[in-house]
Amino acid sequence: MTEQVRTERATVARSTPAGRKWGRWIGYVFIAPWLISFLAFDLIPIVSGFYHSFTRWTATGSQATWIGLDNYAEAVTRDPLFWRSVWNTLYYMGASVPIGIVVAFFLALLLNTRVRGMGAYRTIYYLPSVVPIVAAAVVWVFIFETRRGILNYVLELVGLPAIRWLSDPNWAMPALIIMSLWGLGATMIIFLAGLQNIPQELYEAAEVDGANAVQRMMRITVPLMTPTIFFTLVLNLVNAFQAFANAFILTHGGPNNATLLYMIHIYTNAFSYFRMGYASALAVLLFVVVFSVTLFVYRTSNRWVYYS
């Protein structure tokens, strides 16, 4: 039997009702791993969390008791740490996101030049972003150490006093913001990919017209990079709202709740106090805020994002 005959018979078999039905089941088999994962780790937990946000549930064997909106009322009116965690998260997000985007964009510009060994430089700047967060946090604990830390040693070399980075409420949050710059490699790579997609003919034409480097940057690079900036802005905003590991490992929310981020507040209520219902309500509020902020950024993007 020739290959052409076998192909024709297979085509005929697939065109029959039984063949089409069997083909559908084969498709379901292939998507089954993703479907099971989506149901077990996404859809069911989301629905369960939304339901339990209206209950008093300790997750220690007791039955969930329906209490309506009481968890939400407690968060807004009776929980002082709720507003403290909201302010700390906004502070962290308002500083780390713009600083991170600007620094990552600047590094991408440097790494987009033609210099010998540029591949090695790109690898060096990207590697910190793939280091496990726990290992990186342990390293930064030694960097921020008051007496033997590298950062304070550098400050003393230039004549500045040592700073109690992780034990002073005024400096604990800036320490977390500084540490957030450690993982800029992923954002930098995204910016680098966007820069390499800009046609070089535009720069050549602008240079012929007499445009200097600053004018080429502001009139060509930045406008054509706005879609990439928009993408990284959304990603970094969502990640900032969900920041947890750095603050939890370095300060556990202290000192004096100075680094009590919103995710730490959720974690504490869920796994320290076992108030799963209240923690679910906090998580639902976080989802609403993140969704609203993302929608706002998306709706306003047509004012400053330019697609070529």
pLDDT band at 4 (very low <50, low <70, confident <90, very high): low
pTM over 0.75: yes
Between 260 and 132, the higher pLDDT residue:
260
Assess whether pLDDT exceeds 70 at residue 249: yes
pLDDT of 72 higher than 60: yes
**Which residue has better confidence, 14 or 109?**
109
Q: What's residue 2's pLDDT? A: 59
Give me the percent of the chain exceeding a pLDDT of 90. Answer: 59
pLDDT reading at 12 higher than 50? no
What is the average pLDDT across 52-74? 89
Q: Is the pLDDT of residue 3 over 60?
A: no
pLDDT at 19: 53
Quick one: average pLDDT of 237-255?
92
Give the domains, in start order, of the chain with CATH numbers: 3-52 (no CATH), 74-136+164-303 (1.10.3720.10)
Confidence (pLDDT) at 183: 84
Q: What is the pLDDT of residue 234?
A: 95
Give the tens place of pLDDT for each residue, 173-232.
Answer: 999 999 999 888 899 999 999 999 998 899 889 988 888 988 999 999 999 999 999 999
More confident residue, 240 or 14: 240
pLDDT of residue 148: 84
Q: What single string gives the DSSP state of each residue in the chain?
A: --HHHHHHHHHHHHHSHHHHHHHHHHHHHHHHHHHHHHIIIIIHHHHHHHHHTTEE--SSSPPPEE-TTHHHHIIIII-HHHHHHHHHHHHHHHHHHHHHHHHHHHHHHHHTS--TTHHHHHHHHHGGGGS-HHHHHHHHHHHT-TTT-HHHHHHHHTTPPP--TTT-HHHHHHHHHHHHGGGTHHHHHHHHHHHHTS-HHHHHHHHHTT--HHHHIIIIIHHHHHHHHHHHHHHHHHHHHT--HHHHHHTTT-STTTT--HHHHHHIIIIIS--HHHHHHHHHHHHHHHHHHHHHHHHHGGGT----
When comparing pLDDT for 79 and 30, which is higher? Answer: 79
